[in-house]
Amino acid sequence: MTAKWFIDASYFAVAVVFILGLKAMSSPVTARRGIVWAGLAMIAATLVTFATPGMQNFGLMIVAIASGGALAWWSGKVVKMTDMPQMVAIYNGMGGGAAAAIAALEFARGEVHGTVVTTLAVLGALIGSVAFSGSCVAFAKLQGIMKSAWRLPAQNAVNILLALAVVGLGGVIVAAGEVKGELIVAFFVLALVLGVILTSPIGGADMPVVISLLNAFTGLAVGFEGYVLGNPALIVAGIVVGASGTLLTQLMAKAMNRPISNVLFTPISGAAAGGGEAIEGSMREFSALDAASVMRYASKVIIVPGYGMAVAGAQHKVWEMAQLLEEGGVEVVFAIHPVAGRMPGHMNVLLAEAGVPYDKIFDLEEINAEFPQADVALVIGANDVVNPVARTDKSSPIYGMPILNVDMAHNVIVVKRGKGAGYSGIENALFYKDNCRMLYGSAQQAIAEVITHVKALES
C-alpha cells in the first residue's frame, strides 16, 4: 500500500461521511450527530493531507492552520446567537476566498494547463472571489458597519457590464494558454469588485437569501478548484454544497415571494413601498393587564415571534410567560414564519436557546389552519410576515408573500416598540383591524409586565 493509495482511500471515506453528516443534519433528532461526524471527517482529511508526497512549507502551513483556525474558533464561540447569520456569512466568504486563492496560486505556479482545467480554474476563481467580497459586504451590513444600501446610477447596467468584463477577461485567459501576471491580477480585482457591486444595493431583509446564494457559490468554487487539483473529495463536497445551497436558496426565496433575480436586481425600496391603498381606521391600545387576563383565560394562545423579539433579547421572558400560561391550563404554541429572524430557521435557534422544545414550534403550513381556533395570537416584534395586505392588496410590494394568518384569531395582541412601519417600510393593515390590540413597549419589558399580571391573577 502506498501513501497515495492510503490518502485517496481516506478522502473517499471523508466524502462519504460528509454526505451522511449532511443527511443527519436534516432531522432535528440526528442533527447534532451529523455535525460531529462531519467534524471528525474534516480533522481526518486535514491530518491525512500532511502525508501527501512531495510537499514542503510545513512550518508556514501549520502556522496558517493554527492562526486561521484559532481565530475563527474563538469568534464562533463568543458570538451571540442573534449575530449568527453574519458569522455564517463571513466564514463562507473565507471559504470562497480560499478557493480563489488556490486558483491564484496555481496560476502563479504556471500549473494550469489545458482548456477544461483553465476554464474551471477561472470559473472557480471568479465565483470564489464574488463569494468572498460579497460575503464581506453581507457581514458588514448585518453587523451594522455598513449602514444603508447604496445604489449606483444605472446599477443593473453597471452590474452587467462588469460581469461581462470579468467573463471576457476570463475568456482571454483561457484562450491565451500561457498566462500573463497583469491579466490575472486585473481579473481578480474585477471579480472582487463585482461581488461588492452586486451585494451593496441589497437591503437587510433580503440578506438571508443572498448569504444562502453565496454559500452555494462557494460550494461550486470549491468543486471547480477540486477538479483543477484532481481531488475528488473537494469536487464531491463542493458540488453537494453547491446543489443543496441552491435548493435552500430557492426555498427561502419562495417563502419570501421574492424570485432570486428580483432579490439581486430590484431590491424593495422606499419608493416601491409607497404603493398600496391607504388604510382606514385607527390602532387600539391595550394595557399589560388586559393582555394578561385575555391570555390567562384563553384556551389556546399562538405566539408569533419576530426578529424584534430576538433583538430585545426577550425570548427567555416569552418562554417564561408561556410556561406560566401552560401551568394555568392554556395551550401555548409558537408559530414561525420561514423568514422570521434573519434566516429561515434562525428564530427556531433563538427559541431553542431560551429552552423552548422544538415540538412546540410550528411552521407556516402546519399552523395556519389553526388560527381561527385560537383565542389569542400574540405577535411579538414581527410585522411584514403577519400583514394581511399580502393576501388582499395586489398593489402592495409584498402581495403574494405567504403570511401567518394571525388576523383570523379571535383576538390579536401586537407587542411593538412604537407606531412606525416594519423593516420594509410597508404599513400593516393588521394593526387597524377590529380584533387587534396594540401593546406598546420593548418586548422585554412588556412581557415582564404581562408575567407580573398573570402571576397576580393566579393568587
Partner 1 sequence: MEGFTALYIFMLAAFTGYEVISRVPVILHTPLMSGSNFVHGVVLVGAMVVLGHADPDSPLQLAIGFVAVFLGAANAAGGYVVTERMLAMFKPGANKAGKAKEGAQ
Binding mask 429-458 for partner 1 (x = CB under 8 A): ------------------------------
Contact between 316 and partner 1 by CB under 8 A: the answer reads: no
Contact between 330 and partner 1 by CB under 8 A: the answer reads: yes
- Give the footprint of partner 1 on residues 354-393 (CB under 8 A): 355, 357-361, 363-364, 373, 375
Counting residues that bind partner 1 (by CB under 8 A) gives 127
Contact between 331 and partner 1 by CB under 8 A: the answer reads: yes
Asked if 381 and 348 count as a contact pair (C-beta separation under 8 A), the reply is no
Q: What CA–CA distance (Å, rounded) separates 313 from 307?
A: 10
Minimum CB separation of residue 293 from partner 1 in Å reads 17
Binding mask 48-77 for partner 1 (x = CB under 8 A): -xx-x-xxxxx-xx-xxxxxxxxxxx-xxx
Contact between 134 and partner 1 by CB under 8 A: the answer reads: no
- Give the footprint of partner 1 on residues 99-118 (CB under 8 A): 99, 101-102, 104-106, 108-109, 111, 116
Contact between 170 and partner 1 by CB under 8 A: the answer reads: no
- Give the footprint of partner 1 on residues 256-295 (CB under 8 A): none
Smallest CA-to-CA distance from 173 within 238, 243, 124, 231 is with 124
Asked if 343 and 85 count as a contact pair (C-beta separation under 8 A), the reply is yes
Minimum CB separation of residue 187 from partner 1 in Å reads 14
Binding mask 5-44 for partner 1 (x = CB under 8 A): ------x--x---xx-xxx-xxxxx-xx-xxx-xx--x--
Binding mask 392-431 for partner 1 (x = CB under 8 A): ----------------------------------------
* Catalytic (active-site) positions: 384
376-380 and 361-363 as β-strands: parallel, antiparallel, unpaired? unpaired
Among 236, 264, 303, 438, binds partner 1 (CB under 8 A): 236
Q: What CA–CA distance (Å, rounded) separates 228 from 224?
A: 7
How many angstroms separate the Cα of 250 from the Cα of each of 118, 202, 261, 293? 30, 17, 11, 42
Q: Which is nearer to partner 1, 137 or 235 (CB)?
A: 235
Cross-strand pairs, 377:
302, 412
Binding span for partner 1 by CB under 8 A among 189-197, 229-237, 397-405, 429-437: 229-237
Minimum CB separation of residue 44 from partner 1 in Å reads 10
